[in-house]
Amino acid sequence: MPAERTVPVGMRVRPSARRTTVAMDSQPRAVRRTNPKPTKPRMNDAQRHAMQDLFSLEARRRQELGEQDRLAHEIRTQKSLDIDQSIRAERLKSQENRAPEPSWRGYNDYEVEVFRAEQEQIQRVLRAEIVQQREQIRLLRSAADEHNLAHETMVQANRTLTAQIASLQEQLATYDAKTHTLHAEVQATRTRNAQLETQLSEAESLRRKLHNQVQELRGNVRVYVRVRPARNDGELASITYPDPMLHSQIELLSQAENAMGQPTVRQHAFGFDHVFPPQATQEDVFAEVSDLMQSVLDGYNTTIFAYGQTGSGKTHTLEGGANTVSHKIDTSAGLIPRAMHMLWDVAHRLKTQGWTYEFHAQMLQIYLDQVSDLLASSDSSSREKHEIRHTENHTNVTNTVVVPLSSAEEVFELLERAKKRRQVAATLMNDRSSRSHSVFILRVRGTNSVTNEVCDATLNLVDLAGSERLATSGSASDPSRLKEAQSINKSLSSLGDVIGALSSNHGTRHIPYRNSTLTWLLKNSLGGNSKTLMLLALSPLKAHMNESLCSLRFASKVHATHIGSARAIKSSTEA
């Protein structure tokens, strides 16, 4: 195996390696010089292989080093080429810009200068970018802050609204529950009210029924008292109504003197079927009278007479402020128009049970004890003589106008016609005082096509002349007024006599109906076969206290009268 080794082409041998080679070469020569031919050391195969590996490793290492040197050389070469190229480019650029020639200090300085300039330029650009970025970051942060703040506010507002919604929902639920409870309560109250109304209505019907029974047992004379409201026309009397629930009592306090001549107060208490205080309306009064209208359709003769001193409200109660324009019932309408409307209404309802009713009206006046016809023409009235005739159940007055009525409204025209003919004269107590008795007579005939029943009844509504005494009315000084007052008082006292006789009559005693035209006309209405209502009108004034007491005493007498039980007048069309 040779001691020299071959170096690959292009591979530079390092000095150390060369030295090693020299040492290796010199040593064997010296050995060769000093020693006789040495015996070749023998290497075994393993050593030989190790050596071969060593050599091949060394060869590879050297090859790699040479390769690295070659690459480094190429890079340097390339770099110097690049620098030359950039120098040429810079020269061209400077020539183009006519910039002063750079002060050359060699390639390295120039390279450093260019590099520094580039770096400074890059730094400037980067700094500017940094500044821009910072500004953008600052703006973004500020926007983010604002956004965060707005978000926070919205979150807060949202939280508040959510809380409010929850609270409102809670309130709503409470209200719902309350409403539900209230609905249930209202429903229960309505049911209870309906029950109470039914009970009340039943109780009212029972009350009226029992009341009618009591009236029939008492002989069918009812007495109602009505005190008219004050009209600023004087000092008020002391009048009280002790039983506001039953409305049946009235008490008056009067000034008097005792035996010693000292002033004392006297109490006068009266009881009637009903007492209406001044605040009672026309409707209230009619409500207590309306059952009598049903009695008329059932065939009972019925008489209502208004009694009381002048100006106490008799005409107002019976006729009221009749609405002559529309002929409708308004609040001031009195008993007569209301009664007519009710009769027509009930008659209309009874049609379904086969009843057909006919109505005929008359209006008479008794003035100076003479009957006259308020519906007759003015000429005939003065000439005609009227005679009162009684059959068993009915009373007829000859030569009087009987008007068939086809509607309730027609009665307003009759009242107007009658009012014009009624004798009205001025007195000291009432400047439109009615100096005559007026009688509205309604004949009712009902026939039933199913049962063939016939009902005949008469309704008398009597507006009596003022009951005042001669001294207080001022009639004494005027002969014609005196004659009127005497006639009025005579007929009213005859009425009292008849009622007195009826109350003490047991079927044997003579009843003085003929003592006055008034009592004779009302014979069938007072005699026991009819229902009678006396409506006493009272003045509320202290100045009329004595007249009021007289009227109350007379009404008490009537109230105490028993004149038998009324019976309906019924027959059959088949008879």
Query: Residues near 380 by Cβ (< 8 Å), separated by ≥ 6?
Result: 373
Q: Which is nearer to ligand ATP, 296 or 336 (CB)?
A: 336
Which SS3 state, helix, strand or coil, does residue 250 take?
Answer: strand
CA distance 504 to 500: 6
Nearest alpha-carbon partner for 297 in 564, 535, 531: 531
Q: Which is nearer to ligand ATP, 466 or 527 (CB)?
A: 466
Nearest alpha-carbon partner for 70 in 13, 17, 10, 16: 10
CB of 462 to ligand ATP, least distance (A): 12
User: Residue 447 belongs to what H/E stretch?
Assistant: strand 437-448
Ranked by CB distance to ligand ATP, the top (closest) residue is 313
Q: Which is nearer to ligand ATP, 433 or 529 (CB)?
A: 433
Which strand ranges, in their side-by-side order, compose the sheet holding 249-257?
238-240, 249-257, 263-271
CA distance 474 to 487: 15
CB of 559 to ligand ATP, least distance (A): 20
CB of 284 to ligand ATP, least distance (A): 10
Which SS3 state, helix, strand or coil, does residue 531 take?
Answer: strand
Q: Which is nearer to ligand ATP, 311 or 528 (CB)?
A: 311
CA distance 340 to 268: 37
376 neighbors 350 (Cβ within 8 angstroms): no
Q: Which is nearer to ligand ATP, 228 or 559 (CB)?
A: 228
CB of 318 to ligand ATP, least distance (A): 8
Query: Residues near 7 by Cβ (< 8 Å), separated by ≥ 6?
Result: 13, 62
* Count of C-beta atoms within a 10 Å radius of residue 295: 19
Q: Which is nearer to ligand ATP, 62 or 228 (CB)?
A: 228
First CA to last CA across the chain, in angstroms?
A: 183
CB of 308 to ligand ATP, least distance (A): 5
273 neighbors 224 (Cβ within 8 angstroms): yes
CB of 522 to ligand ATP, least distance (A): 18
Q: Which is nearer to ligand ATP, 302 or 312 (CB)?
A: 312
Which SS3 state, helix, strand or coil, does residue 307 take?
Answer: strand
Binding positions for ligand ATP, rule: CB under 6 A = 228-229, 308, 310-316, 430, 433-434, 465-466, 537
Pure H helices in 378-516: 378-383, 410-421, 470-473, 479-504
CB of 486 to ligand ATP, least distance (A): 16
Q: Which is nearer to ligand ATP, 301 or 516 (CB)?
A: 516
CB of 230 to ligand ATP, least distance (A): 10
Cα distances (angstroms) measured from residue 3 to each of 13, 20, 53, 65, 205: 16, 12, 15, 23, 159
CB of 305 to ligand ATP, least distance (A): 12
Pure H helices in 390-478: 410-421, 470-473
Q: Which is nearer to ligand ATP, 212 or 475 (CB)?
A: 475
Q: Which is nearer to ligand ATP, 28 or 229 (CB)?
A: 229
Query: Residues near 212 by Cβ (< 8 Å), separated by ≥ 6?
Result: 291
Strand 388-390, strand 274-276: pairing: unpaired
Cite the annotated binding site by residue number: 308-315
Q: Which is nearer to ligand ATP, 285 or 563 (CB)?
A: 285
Residue type, 369: D
CB of 232 to ligand ATP, least distance (A): 12
The tokens describing 218, both together, are 């008492």
CB of 418 to ligand ATP, least distance (A): 13
The tokens describing 490, both together, are 């005579």
Cα angle, residue 198 at apex, residues 192 and 199 outer, rounded to 5°: 85
Q: Which is nearer to ligand ATP, 437 or 443 (CB)?
A: 437
The tokens describing 356, both together, are 């057909």
Cite the annotated binding site for ATP by residue number: 308-315
Nearest alpha-carbon partner for 441 in 302, 247, 557, 287: 302
Residue-by-residue DSSP string for 324-376:
TTT----TTB-HHHHHHHHHHHHHHHHGGGTEEEEEEEEEEEEETTEEEETTS
The tokens describing 284, both together, are 């209230």
The tokens describing 439, both together, are 């009688």
- Beta-strand runs (E) in 217-260: 221-227, 238-240, 249-257
CB of 367 to ligand ATP, least distance (A): 13
Q: Which is nearer to ligand ATP, 296 or 411 (CB)?
A: 411
CB of 392 to ligand ATP, least distance (A): 33
